[in-house]
Amino acid sequence: MEHWDEGVYMERGRGRPGATPLILSCGVHGDELAPVQVLQQLLDELKARTLPLARPCLLIFANLLALEEKRRYLKHNLNRLFGSSQRVPGYEGERVRTLEQHCRDFADMHGPGWHLDLHATIKPSRHPHFALQPYNPEPGSTPYDPRWPATLAQAGFTALVQQNAHAPTFANFSCNKLGYASFTLECGDIAGSGTSAAAPLDRLLRQLLTGPDLPGGNAHLQTYQVAVDLIKQTSDFQFLVDEKGENFATFPAGTPIARNGNSLVETPTDGCALLFANSQVPVGDRAGLLLAPTP
């Protein structure tokens, strides 16, 4: 295994030639410990060569200083800095540029592949394990294998959110800049209890690292399309529903959800779900998503 940088490891794999390369990242937010524990265990097994690796992989532990302090971030939210032309000073700005370059180098070596950016949820969720697919205005440029939804579902993920706009996230960067089939995975409780809560993620990653291809299957995900991206426009933004409620809580059409400056945000259709509600983000950042379920 090659140690490219602090918290960055590359393994060429011992599988068939042409196997799809895989980037796995965690610790973009330093308080989301559950996926970090899972990936650390897999890294240990790869180093010991007790886990047979079928494909090239790049393993990234992203915000190391925030992980040391178990804080979400130090000064800047790392997952709001990727793919930006604006240079942010300090550790997190430099770290993003470094990680982007490592991913470019890996893609140059092995070609386009898959990227899973691993996170954990801050609050309870009706879907404890779910995936977000970045917005891609040219779908043909990033080939998403149609077996991905079933693969996620077979592992124990229950929902897929398809985004409707670019965001400065790690997964959006690898999808739109490198041509990777990328997902942000929300992998259960934020703290990481070492119990069965981590099982779906561990099961999925072992399948991808050791198997010759996506397993697919007959399981299905509940899918959602982003209907409203709640960007905080002013400092007096406020939710009109309980923002501490569960992720994916649903509301009837016309329910007042938030006051955003002079605008009132209402649910456009029945059954809209609220995700990532957080009024305390900086002005200009996303304060939440309203999701429309798809058949």
Instruction: Please give the pLDDT value at position 197.
Output: 66
Nearest 5°: the CA angle 227, 279, 190 is 90
In terms of Cβ atoms closer than 10 Å to its own Cβ (0-12, 13-18, 19+), residue 91 is middle
Q: Where are the beta strands (DSSP E) in the chain?
A: 2-5, 8-11, 22-26, 57-61, 114-121, 129-133, 159-162, 181-189, 222-231, 238-239, 249-251, 256-260, 263-266, 272-275, 286-293
- Could you state, in order of their start, the residue ranges of all structural domains in the chain? 2-210, 222-293
CATH code of the region 2-210: 3.40.630.10
Q: Tell me, yes or no, if the pTM score tops 0.85.
A: yes
Query: Alpha-carbon distance 1 to 12, whole Å?
Result: 8
Residue with tokens 């995936």: 131
pLDDT in tens, the chain (295 residues): 999 999 999 998 877 788 999 999 999 999 999 899 999 999 999 999 999 999 999 999 999 999 999 999 999 999 999 998 788 899 999 999 999 999 999 999 999 999 999 999 888 899 999 999 999 887 677 789 999 999 999 999 999 999 988 899 999 999 999 999 999 999 987 655 555 568 889 999 999 999 988 988 888 999 999 999 999 999 999 999 999 999 999 999 999 999 998 899 999 999 999 999 999 999 989 999 999 999 8
Active site residue 69: no
Active-site position among 11, 92, 100, 186: 186
Instruction: Please give the pLDDT value at position 192.
Output: 54
Q: Which fold has domain 222-293?
A: OB fold (Dihydrolipoamide Acetyltransferase, E2P) (2.40.50)
Instruction: Please give the pLDDT value at position 261.
Output: 86
145 CB-near residues (< 8 Å, 6+ apart): 181, 214
2-210 and 222-293: same fold?
no
Query: Alpha-carbon distance 171 to 278, whole Å?
Result: 21
